[in-house]
Amino acid sequence: MTVESFLDVIQSGIYTLLFSITPVLALSLGVGLLIGIFQAVTQINEQTLSFVPKIFVVFISLVVFGGWILNKMMDYLVEIFSYYMNLV
């Protein structure tokens, strides 16, 4: 295995990870932004107010996007295995 092939596998893994986790992070960011605006408008400075809705949104988004994320990770795993089988 050469350095270039190792870097290709790592780069593909990073792209797969970033691409698959983006919907969950975007929804969490959106909810955090809305709660931050709500706290600024109402001047409620409760620290725990932002955690519960974000945790709920992350849980729901993982339930909704979990199958799609699993398919992306399985495709990456198959890609790695097929790549290594071609080397042997």
User: 17-74, pLDDT tens digit by residue?
Assistant: 999 999 999 999 999 999 989 988 988 888 778 888 999 999 999 999 999 999 999 9
Number of domains, the chain: 1
Range of the domain at 40: 3-87
pLDDT score, position 62 = 95
> Could you give the CA distance from residue 17 to residue 66 in angstroms, rounded to a whole number?
13
